[in-house]
């Protein structure tokens, strides 16, 4: 049993330290209540060890043990405990009791009153006058969480006839234990906040390019829902079912993981946002949540980079897969509604609207046209002269009311992309605009 229950007879005689607090949360203590002060060297030592504890990471396995030991040295108590309070139950987390009798344990009535009043209790001189001479003097300082609920306590005892000859606890000794408890509470809040920030940063890094992550950390409001023009990219692996059947389960996972890593790298390299992964493909977006005036060019550069990786994949996997590795990429630009539809644990930031559906249908059209990269006319009109495109067809995409003019990408910057074998078979002349 962690604590002992003697009823409420002991706790009712204890004095309360600073139940009233100022606007900063510090206890308000009348100077007349302070009483005799410990020596200057003792007080200096208290603050020195508090500083040392503040420098110790709360995640250190020895952190709470160290805090419990400080109740004894330099705290001057004979026993000390750090307790947790969950669902109305108290549990000893760390103890420092030296050579004392194992029967000495924290009193439940003291813990309950400290939690109820959210105040530090102690056995001062006036308390001692109402208690038997052989009963220990105690200090109990509650630990509050971020919601100002009692999450634990620091509990110390001074045994009559122990190392310290005093039979009671001085108010300043009590205040020091309270500072120790608040130091640990602050460290835990800081640790939780740092863990939450780290978790949030990891979520952002899974979706956004580093340059965007930095902006979002400075201005989280950028993730709020908004309507804006964006360029959407869909990439899909051709003949994925045949490849999976040939490779088997383990090799398929290895292959797809390697493929998605490589494709994602190009999205991130060009400042894109990962929308989602879907088995053998992915989707990405540019110009949200931050402005990217060259968003269409960024998407085409990412697509060209993806296609440039495929020869390497074939040299490593074609023989094992039994087929030539090919991917199709569709890109479309238009107005979308973007925002986070996930939670604080799992972010789901992305676009909604017909533009997204159209980009997906354009990617599917690569299979019929044989094109490695197909873009819509809406995307093409936003591209600079260093991107060369070839008109392919006017397509009626499934689920899209108006037909869409599609173009194959032939060159991005210095990178050239081959024409579709079907275009060569049809002996179609290269033209950069739709025929009248």
Host H or E run for residue 415: strand 415-416
- Measured CA to CA, the distance from residue 182 to residue 188 in angstroms comes to 10
As a CATH number, domain 208-426 is 3.30.70.1230
Residues of 59-77 as b/e, b for ≥16 C-beta within 10 angstroms? eeeebbebbbbbbbebbbb
Span 328-343, pLDDT tens digits: 999 999 999 998 876 6
| The predicted structure's pLDDT at residue 128 | 73
Residue 332 and residue 381 in contact, taking contact as beta carbons nearer than 8 Å: no
Residue spans per domain, the chain = 11-196, 208-426
Query: In the structure, what pLDDT confidence band is assigned to residue 426 with cuts at 50, 70 and 90?
Result: very low
| The predicted structure's pLDDT at residue 418 | 75
Helix H segments across 100-140? 108-117, 125-128
- Higher pLDDT: 106 or 209? It is 106
Tell me what the pLDDT averaged over the chain comes to.
85
- Measured CA to CA, the distance from residue 436 to residue 433 in angstroms comes to 9
Q: Report whether pLDDT(255) > 90.
A: yes
Look up residue 4 and give its DSSP letter.
Answer: B
Span 136-192, pLDDT tens digits: 888 999 999 988 899 999 999 988 765 556 678 888 888 889 989 999 999 888 888
208-426 shares the fold of 11-196? no
Look up residue 333 and give its DSSP letter.
Answer: E
CA-to-CA dists, residue 219 to 46, 192, 215, 216, 290, angstroms: 41, 21, 6, 5, 11
- Measured CA to CA, the distance from residue 293 to residue 289 in angstroms comes to 12
Task: Say what the pTM is.
Answer: 0.63
- Higher pLDDT: 347 or 372? It is 372
Radius of gyration (C-alpha) of the chain in whole angstroms:
34
| The predicted structure's pLDDT at residue 163 | 55
Q: Considering only the top CATH level, what class is 11-196?
A: alpha beta
Q: Report whether pLDDT(131) > 50.
A: yes
């Amino acid at each position: 049993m962690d604590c002992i229950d003697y009823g409420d007879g002991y706790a009712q005689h204890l004095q309360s330290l600073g139940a009233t607090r100022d606007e900063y949360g510090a206890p308000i203590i009348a100077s007349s209540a302070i009483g005799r002060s410990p020596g200057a060297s003792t007080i200096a030592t208290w603050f020195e060890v508090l500083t040392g504890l503040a420098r110790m990471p709360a995640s250190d396995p020895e952190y709470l043990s160290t805090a419990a030991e400080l109740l004894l040295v330099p705290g001057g108590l004979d026993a000390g405990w750090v307790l947790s309070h969950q669902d109305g139950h108290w549990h000893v987390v760390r103890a420092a009791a030296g050579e004392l009798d194992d029967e000495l344990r924290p009193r439940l009535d003291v813990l309950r009153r400290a939690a109820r009043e959210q105040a530090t209790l102690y056995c001062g001189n006036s308390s001692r006058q109402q208690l038997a001479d052989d009963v220990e003097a105690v200090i109990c300082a509650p630990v509050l969480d971020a919601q100002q609920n009692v999450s634990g306590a620091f509990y110390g005892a001074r045994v009559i006839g122990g190392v310290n000859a005093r039979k009671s606890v001085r108010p300043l000794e009590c205040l020091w234990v309270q500072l120790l408890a608040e130091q640990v509470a602050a460290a835990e809040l800081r640790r939780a906040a740092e863990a939450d920030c780290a978790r949030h940063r990891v979520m952002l890094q899974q979706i956004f390019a580093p340059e965007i992550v930095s902006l979002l950390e400075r201005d989280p409001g950028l993730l709020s829902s908004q309507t804006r023009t964006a360029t959407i990219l869909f990439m899909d692996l051709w003949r994925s079912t045949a490849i999976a059947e040939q490779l088997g389960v383990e090799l398929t996972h290895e292959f797809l993981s390697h493929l998605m890593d490589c494709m994602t790298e190009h999205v991130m390299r060009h400042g894109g946002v990962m929308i989602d992964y879907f088995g053998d493909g992915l989707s990405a977006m540019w110009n949200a949540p931050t402005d990217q005036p060259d968003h269409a060019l960024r998407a085409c550069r990412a697509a060209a980079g993806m296609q440039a990786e495929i020869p390497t994949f074939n040299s490593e996997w074609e023989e094992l897969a039994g087929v030539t590795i090919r991917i199709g990429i569709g890109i479309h630009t238009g107005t979308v509604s973007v925002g986070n539809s996930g939670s604080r644990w799992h972010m789901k930031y992305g676009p909604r609207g017909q533009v997204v559906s159209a980009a997906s249908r354009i990617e599917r059209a690569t299979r019929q046209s044989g094109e490695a990269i197909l873009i819509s006319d809406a995307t093409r009109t936003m591209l600079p002269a260093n991107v060369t495109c070839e008109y392919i067809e006017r397509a009626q995409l499934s689920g899209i009311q108006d037909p869409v003019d599609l173009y194959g990408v032939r060159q991005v910057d210095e990178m050239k992309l081959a024409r579709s074998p079907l275009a060569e078979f049809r002996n179609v002349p290269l033209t950069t605009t739709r025929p009248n």
